Amino acid sequence: MMVFVEEATEHFRKAFPDLVRINEEPVLVSFARMFKIFITQRGIEQDVSLFTYSEDGNNNKKKAA
């Protein structure tokens, strides 16, 4: 089953290179960064009519296929 997923991912990357995102950040570092964002942005006050998430400053790199 895992081989099928890897093969499908390879074909997807070739077919849709503009949708591929490469993030070389380690998983635990990424989790900690996203958890911090969640903690700071989780509360919305009662009088807010429009809420948008702020940028986290992480720049994902695209690799040429």
pLDDT attached to residue 37: 84
Q: What is the pLDDT of residues 9-62, one digit of tens each?
A: 999 999 999 998 888 899 999 999 989 888 887 777 788 787 676 666 655 555
Query: Which amino acid belongs to residue 53?
Result: Y
CB 14, CB 65: distance < 8 Å: yes
The domain segmentation of the chain, as residue ranges, is 2-41
Query: SS3 of 61, please?
Result: strand
Q: Which two tokens stand for residue 51?
A: 């809420």
pLDDT attached to residue 60: 52
pLDDT attached to residue 29: 94
Q: Give backbone dihedrals phi and psi of 25, rounded to 5 degrees, phi first.
A: -70, 135
pLDDT attached to residue 57: 60
**What residues are paired with 61 via a beta bridge?**
22
